[in-house]
Each structure stands twice: as C-alpha cells, then as structure tokens.
C-alpha cells in the first residue's frame, strides 16, 4: 500500500480507498496512518488532496527557479576565460571544436574566430568565485551560492532545450518539474496552487515561453502550473461574475460539486474529482491571492533591497519579490521566466542591459530569504537552457560581437535548500568550450533537485500508456558533491 500511494496517491478520497481495499480493520488503520485525513468527516472541500509522502527526509521544502530564457553567455558572467582574450580573432582549434553540431545560424560561416569577454572579472568572498562586473550585486552573495560551471544538455535550439530542462524531454506534453513535485509532495497551503508561473521580459530578443512548459502532461490536472499575470487580475477568471456575491458563488459550487460527485460515482474518472478540487481551490484563491499580491506591508528596506522596479507589476524585480511571498506562503514550486538573453549579435550592449534587469533582484531574493530564516528550506536556482559559444557569430570587431547556442557547457547557480554554499563545482577548458571536470547532465541536475526535496528520482513514477514515466526518463544521478 505504501508504495502504491507514493506512486499514485494524489487522487484517493475516502470512498475510493475503501472501495478498492479490504475493509478489514488492519487496512483501515494502515490507511489512516499513511493518509491522516482519510477518515476525517466532511465533504470533498474538506478532504482536498492526499498529503504527499517524501521517500526520505527532505533538505528543502520549496523551489524558486529563476529561469533566464534565451541562454545567458557564461563567458560574460561567471566563467572567466582570460585565454580567450589572448586568442582574440584566432580560429578555434579543430581539436577543441571537434565534430560538434552547429546551428543553422553559424553552419555556413567560413571561420570561427575566438572572442574573449568585453567585461572584467574579479574574485569575491571567501570562496574566491569569479564574477564579472556585470553582476555587482551577485558578487556580494557568492558565499551563499553554489556555481555549477559544467552543466550540459542534448538540445541545440531554444524550444527543445527549454522543454528538456523543464520536463525532462525535448518533446512537449510531459509534466513539468513543478508538476512532478506537486504530484510527489502534495499541498502545503490549501489556499494557493502548488505550482505557480511568473513571466517577465528583458531588453533583448525574447525567445518564447509556452504553456506546455508548465503543463501537468499526463498527471492529474490539479498539478498544472498556474500563471500569475501583471494585470488587474493576476489570475485570470478568478473573480466572481458581475452580479454574483460570495454566498451565491458558494451555493453554486456546492450544487456543482454534487453533480460532479454523481458523475464521478457513475464513471470513476479521476478528472471529475480533479475538477471539483480546482473549483474549490479557485474559490479559496479569491481571498488568498489578493493578500499575497499586496505589497503594502513590505518595509522600505525590502523595497530598497529589491530595487524600485519591484513596485512595477510584471518586472523581474516584482516577480522575485512575489516569488518570495508565494514561497513563504507554502507554494511548492515558483517558476520565473525572464526573456531576452538571446544575444546572437550586439552582445556587449544587450547583455549589459539584461544583467542590470536581473542582478539586484536575484541577489535580493537570496538575501531576503536568508534574513527571514527561509533559505535553508528554499532551493533557489538561476540559469538558462544552454550556454554560448567561445567563437563569435557574425562579424567580429574590437567592441562588438555575438555568440551562438552552445549545449556542451554552461553555468547555473543554486542557493539554499541543503546545497553547499560558497563552492564552485565543475570546470570547463581554457577556452570555455568543453567540460574539463565533473560534467552535470540535465537529468543529473533534475535528480539532484528532487533529492533535495526528499524524492528519489527513480521512484517518482507515473504509469501512462503502458510505460513507467519519470522526470529524469531513464538516466540521471544525484550530484552528491554539492549537497551539504
């Protein structure tokens, strides 16, 4: 029974449990131990989802993923390569480039000249981590961060790479990481969704993000991500229709729940039960969401910490502050997407503006969580879908260049949630083109995230169309060297 609940337990209510299991006292007692609310009185509104059961004691309770959509250039931010400056304009050696697949944007280039970063780097903190001068705020918190410089992926174009990082597959229609965590761990706050999504846009080219990235896939639809927008209604269709008051809404939902329960008893479709839960969640969110969105109780020190843009809805800074509020209110997985990191040309100008967009607020989020005592239980992640080439795309001049997609190596940082602070893990070669030490595949990265939340990536499984699916597909290993 325990194994079955771990793998499939999110949709059980009392009636289903008692109808599918032996009615002996031993079975009822076991059920009440595994699912404490199983025998609680009341209707479906009170029952909600069965509580999640971690596979082992977690080091983190929640995740905030600051996804930098479009792929930040590691050479300009965190992976210092002075050799690239020395070899400015020289052809990348064939022994380094190897037989790597190229995108259609550089496949027809006659040459591939190397280009070093236009910005300077310094070492900071006790960890002596290298950070460029584009990230002055991040440089102040390096001793709270774990830089992973040896990430690599399988996809070379944005959509499949982004989809792969978020869902474990380059094709769509698979559950997102946030959906897997919701499925595996259950609700922490019954008044807010388990998985929320926030979007912002920078100054550069905005690669698209799509709802498939926060889809529940083949999991129960209660695990789908809920997008918050910057408009007057942060969650669409949450308000009552004009002319309907709260009592009328409650009466309508009660009648609708009765009808859906009758349909469920007749057909046994778990999506009917999910629909009931979603209606009830929306009703509770009508009160909870405005409270979370209200910034009037935030101190002047907090506004100063995040910067004045945190008061402008829809900005990256505002979303970082909102992410903290959602997380501290029990939202299991908060996903930010910040578009604009796709610098194929005019990189010096665009990445400078893009870094200014995110640097202060990213560092503020880590600092804010730490001073509230929440960083230990919150895993913060910063990074994109792949890296950037060491050679230039297009014309190279002394003050301008671009970089193409590069899946062979890129940098992310992590903070809190049981990850070792103040370390740098993995190395790239002196030209920043290949991994020289401690490679971390996307599935390794995903396995490590799940591990920090008490989930074994090989056991977090859902059976669908005759196959046992998981976030990490058929590979992945936990990167134990970065775990405290």
44-93 tens-digit pLDDT: 233 333 447 899 999 999 999 999 999 999 999 999 999 999 999 999 99
334-390 tens-digit pLDDT: 999 999 999 999 999 999 999 999 999 999 999 999 999 999 999 999 999 999 999
H-only helix segments in 78-220: 82-86, 94-97, 136-139, 158-167, 177-185
Tell me, what DSSP letter sits at residue 303?
H
Radius of gyration of the chain (CA): 24
In the chain, count H helices and then E strands: 15, 17
Burial of residue 127 (CB within 10 Å: 0-12, 13-18, 19+) is middle
Say what the pLDDT of residue 302 is.
Answer: 97
**Three-state DSSP state, 130:** strand
Task: Answer yes or no: is pLDDT of 9 > 90.
Answer: no
Q: Over pLDDT 70: what percentage of the chain?
A: 85
Say what the pLDDT of residue 296 is.
Answer: 86
Q: Read off the pLDDT band of 208 (50, 70, 90).
A: confident
Mean pLDDT along residues 268-285? 70
Cβ neighbors of 111 (< 8 A, separation 6 or more) are 91
Task: Answer yes or no: is pLDDT of 231 > 90.
Answer: no
Mean pLDDT along residues 421-429? 98
Kindly compute the dihedral angle of the four CA atoms of residues 73, 76, 81, 86, in this order, to the nearest 10 degrees: 110
Spans of all domains in the chain: 62-238+286-482
Mean pLDDT along residues 261-283? 72
* Residues paired with 381 in a beta bridge: 65, 414
Say what the pLDDT of residue 206 is.
Answer: 67
The string over 255-283, giving b where at least 16 C-beta atoms fall within 10 Å of a residue's C-beta and e elsewhere, is: eebeebbeebeeeeebebbbbbbbbbbbb
Mean pLDDT along residues 198-204? 86
Cβ neighbors of 212 (< 8 A, separation 6 or more) are 163, 172, 173
Burial of residue 42 (CB within 10 Å: 0-12, 13-18, 19+) is exposed
H-only helix segments in 343-467: 347-371, 442-452
Say what the pLDDT of residue 198 is.
Answer: 96
Report residue 442 as tokens.
């996307």
Report residue 324 as tokens.
């903290």
**Intra-chain end-to-end CA distance of the chain, in Å:** 33
Say what the pLDDT of residue 253 is.
Answer: 72
Closest to 474 (Cα-Cα) out of 443, 446, 448, 452:
443
Mean pLDDT value across the chain: 87
Q: Over pLDDT 90: what percentage of the chain?
A: 68
Higher pLDDT residue, 250 or 473? 473
CATH number of 62-238+286-482: 3.40.720
Closest to 220 (Cα-Cα) out of 36, 50, 454, 466:
50
Mean pLDDT along residues 400-409? 97
Contact (Cβ atoms closer than 8 angstroms) between residue 457 and residue 177: no
């Amino acid at each position: 029974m325990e194994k079955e609940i771990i793998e499939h337990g999110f949709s059980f209510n009392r009636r289903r449990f008692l109808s599918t299991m032996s009615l002996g006292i031993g079975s009822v007692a076991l059920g009440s131990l595994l699912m404490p609310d199983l025998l609680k009185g009341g209707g479906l509104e009170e029952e909600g989802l069965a509580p999640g059961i971690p596979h082992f004691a977690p080091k983190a309770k929640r995740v905030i993923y600051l996804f930098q959509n479009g792929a930040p250039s590691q050479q300009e931010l965190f992976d210092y390569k002075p050799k690239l400056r020395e070899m400015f304009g020289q052809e990348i050696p064939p022994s380094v480039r190897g037989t790597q697949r190229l995108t259609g944007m550089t496949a027809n280039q006659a040459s591939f000249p190397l280009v070093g970063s236009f910005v300077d780097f310094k070492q900071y903190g006790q960890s002596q981590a290298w950070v460029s001068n584009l990230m002055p705020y991040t440089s102040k918190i390096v001793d709270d961060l774990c830089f992973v410089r040896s990430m690599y992926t399988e996809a070379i174009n944005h959509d499949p790479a982004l989809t792969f990082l978020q869902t474990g597959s380059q094709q769509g229609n698979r559950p997102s990481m946030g959906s897997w965590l919701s499925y595996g761990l259950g609700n922490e706050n019954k008044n807010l969704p388990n998985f929320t999504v926030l979007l912002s846009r920078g100054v550069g080219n905005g690669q698209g993000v799509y709802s498939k990235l926060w889809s529940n896939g083949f999991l129960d639809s209660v695990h789908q991500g809920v997008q918050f927008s910057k408009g007057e209604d942060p969650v669409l269709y949450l308000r009552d229709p004009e002319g309907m008051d709260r009592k009328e809404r409650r009466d309508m939902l009660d009648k609708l729940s009765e009808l859906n329960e009758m349909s469920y008893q007749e057909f046994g479709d778990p999506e009917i039960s999910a629909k009931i839960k979603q209606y009830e969640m929306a009703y509770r969110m009508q009160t909870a969401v405005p409270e979370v969105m209200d910034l009037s109780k935030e101190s002047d020190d907090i506004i100063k910490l995040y910067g004045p843009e945190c008061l402008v809805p829809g900005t990256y800074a505002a979303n970082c502050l909102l992410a903290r509020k959602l997380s501290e209110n029990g939202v299991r997985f908060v996903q930010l997407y910040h578009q604009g990191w796709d610098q194929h040309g005019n990189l010096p100008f665009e990445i400078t503006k893009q870094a200014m967009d995110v640097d202060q607020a990213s560092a503020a989020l880590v600092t804010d969580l730490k001073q509230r005592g929440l960083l230990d239980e919150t895993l913060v992640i910063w990074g994109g879908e792949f890296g950037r080439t060491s050679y230039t795309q297009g014309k190279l001049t002394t003050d301008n260049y671009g970089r193409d997609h590069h899946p062979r190596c890129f940098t992310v940082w992590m903070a809190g949630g049981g990850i070792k602070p103040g370390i740098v893990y993995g190395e790239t070669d002196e030209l920043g083109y290949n991994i020289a030490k401690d490679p971390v595949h996307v599935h390794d990265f995903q396995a490590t995230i799940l591990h920090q939340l008490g989930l074994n990536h090989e056991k977090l499984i859902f059976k669908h169309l005759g196959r046992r699916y998981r976030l990490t597909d058929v590979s992945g290993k936990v990167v134990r060297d970065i775990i405290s």
